[in-house]
């Protein structure tokens, strides 16, 4: 450990000149005199390496001075040394119990005093470094614990998002999750099927809703004093009580609640997709019902047309045969006309037979659609849709 010299030592003495009786190396030690503990406390922020209390009066006075020093949080960690003039009797046990780290007297050489002070100052700085490292480790551990707790809370809230079937449930779930941070929030969820504004009570406030709408595309974070707007995709959050006096706390809050907003935005997209599928499903159901009605009408009309055509041709053949009896035609001419009419009847019957086959396939398709979609047009199951697809 590197320590700068000369050491800066605070001197507490009623008679500062008496310190000259000690063999102190002024090259390595700089003494800064104070008349009282109160004066020293005023300068508590000065980085002293040690405190030297010169005892020129009764032993109890020096002990009281040390006790006053140890009551101050900043001075209590600095090593305190008592200086005793040669020949003065002291109670060493009481001195050390009061908080003194060492006792120096005027009979000690400059080297011994320098070594004693260097040892105390080295231990003081080593302890300070250890305390600083311990405080940093404690802070890191607390931050890790806090972040772990926030992560667990975010994960639990995101899992709960999956059970939200509509925008209202999603908004209330998000606001409930943010209660852990003691934040007063307004929320806007911009669904494909409409915009939902809400407070923690589930109701809407007009001013906050207008602000969220106006600033939803102005950036990720927008801050006005204690108000902070957070925008992410289709979700906007207004925090109305940000701790602006704690910059680190504000940053931690923004970092912690952003996963909540990201999870809510993902679930909102899923809800939109689910609702879009429901709309498409309802449309397809209505379309199938209408298509089924048209197909039935077409089937009935087609059968009527085919029967009517066959009947018409047969009627024409019968009437032609009757007319031949009254026409003065040769036998060859009659046979030609009868052959033409008979061939027409056979051809139309063959055509009608082909139509019957086509109509049968058409009827089978209608039956399959009725089986899959039902008579009421209800949504089909997946396996039935696969069966219909393979049949088609």
The enclosing H or E element of 253 equals helix 247-326
In the chain the beta strands, taken as DSSP E runs, fall at 7-12, 29-34, 50-55, 80-84, 102-105, 185-191, 194-198, 221-224, 227-232, 235-239
More confident position, 65 or 87: 65
- Is pLDDT at 1 greater than 50 in this prediction? no
Pairwise CA distance, residues 243 & 152, whole Å: 23
Q: What is the pLDDT of residue 372?
A: 61
Provide mean pLDDT across the span 262-273.
Answer: 88
Q: Which residues contact 46 (CB under 8 A, 6 or more apart)?
A: 8, 10, 32
Q: Is the same domain home to 11 and 129?
A: yes
Position 335 in a domain: yes
Position 24 in a domain: yes
Provide mean pLDDT across the span 28-53.
Answer: 81
* pLDDT-wise least confident of 3-17, 167-181, 220-234: 3-17
* pLDDT-wise least confident of 62-76, 262-276, 326-340: 326-340
What SS3 class is residue 232?
A: strand
Q: Is the same domain home to 385 and 304?
A: yes
How many structural domains is the chain composed of? 3
Last residue of a domain, one of 133, 151, 175: 133
Pairwise CA distance, residues 8 & 46, whole Å: 9
Position 139 in a domain: no
Q: Is the same domain home to 120 and 12?
A: yes
- Is pLDDT at 75 greater than 70 in this prediction? yes
Q: Is the same domain home to 289 and 258?
A: no
Q: Is the same domain home to 258 and 341?
A: no
Contact between 268 and 257 (Cβ < 8 Å):
no
Contact between 309 and 317 (Cβ < 8 Å):
no
Q: Is the same domain home to 117 and 178?
A: no
Q: What is the pLDDT of residues 129-154, one digit of tens each?
A: 888 888 777 766 666 665 555 666 77
- Is pLDDT at 171 greater than 80 in this prediction? yes
Domain that holds residue 126: 7-133
pLDDT confidence tier of residue 301, bands split at 50, 70 and 90: confident
Position 158 in a domain: no
Give the whole-number percent of the chain exceeding pLDDT 90. Answer: 0
Give the whole-number percent of the chain exceeding pLDDT 70. Answer: 80
Q: Is the same domain home to 16 and 108?
A: yes
Q: Which residues contact 368 (CB under 8 A, 6 or more apart)?
A: 388, 391
Q: Is the same domain home to 220 and 315?
A: no
Token pair listed for 194: 């409409």
Which CATH number do you get for residue 126?
3.40.50.2300
Q: Is the same domain home to 171 and 73?
A: no
Backbone angles phi, psi at 11, to 5 degrees: -110, 120
Pairwise CA distance, residues 60 & 66, whole Å: 10
> Which of 86, 85, 65 lies closest to 75 in space, CA to CA?
65
pLDDT confidence tier of residue 316, bands split at 50, 70 and 90: confident
Q: What is the DSSP letter of 8?
A: E
């Amino acid at each position: 450990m590197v320590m700068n010299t000369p050491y800066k030592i605070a001197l507490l003495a009623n008679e500062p000149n008496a310190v000259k009786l000690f063999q102190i190396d002024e090259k390595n030690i700089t003494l800064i005199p104070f008349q009282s503990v109160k004066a020293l406390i005023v300068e508590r922020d000065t980085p002293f390496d040690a405190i030297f209390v010169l005892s020129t009066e009764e032993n109890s006075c020096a002990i009281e001075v040390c006790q006053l020093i140890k009551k101050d949080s900043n001075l209590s960690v600095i090593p305190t040394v008592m200086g005793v003039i040669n020949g003065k009797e002291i109670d060493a046990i009481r001195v050390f119990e009061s908080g003194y780290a060492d006792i120096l007297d005027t009979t000690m050489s400059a080297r011994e005093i320098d070594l004693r002070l260097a040892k105390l100052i080295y231990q003081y700085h080593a302890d300070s470094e250890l305390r600083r490292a311990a405080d940093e480790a404690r802070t890191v551990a607390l931050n890790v614990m806090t972040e772990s707790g926030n992560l667990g809370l975010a994960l639990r809230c995101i899992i709960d998002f999956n059970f939200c079937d509509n925008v209202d449930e999603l908004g209330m779930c998000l606001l409930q999750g943010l209660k852990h941070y003691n934040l007063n929030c307004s929320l806007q969820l911009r669904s494909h099927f409409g915009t939902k504004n809400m407070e923690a009570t589930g109701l809407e406030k007009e001013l906050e809703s207008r602000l969220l709408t106006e600033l939803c595309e102005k950036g990720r974070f927008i801050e006005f004093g204690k108000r902070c707007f957070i925008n992410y995709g289709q979700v906007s959050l207004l925090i109305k009580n940000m701790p602006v006096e704690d910059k680190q706390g504000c940053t931690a809050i923004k970092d912690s609640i952003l996963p909540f907003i990201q999870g809510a935005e993902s679930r909102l997209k899923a809800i939109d997709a689910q609702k879009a599928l429901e709309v498409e499903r309802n449309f397809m159901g209505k379309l199938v019902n209408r298509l089924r009605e048209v197909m039935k009408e077409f089937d009935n009309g087609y059968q009527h047309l085919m029967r009517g055509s066959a009947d018409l041709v047969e009627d024409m053949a019968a009437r032609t045969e009757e007319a031949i009896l009254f026409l003065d035609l040769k036998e060859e001419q009659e046979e030609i006309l009868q052959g033409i009419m008979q061939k027409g009847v056979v051809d139309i019957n063959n055509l009608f037979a082909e139509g019957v086959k086509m109509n049968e396939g058409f009827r089978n398709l209608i039956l399959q659609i009725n089986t899959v979609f039902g008579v009421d047009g209800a949504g089909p199951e997946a396996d039935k849709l696969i069966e219909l697809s393979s049949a088609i």
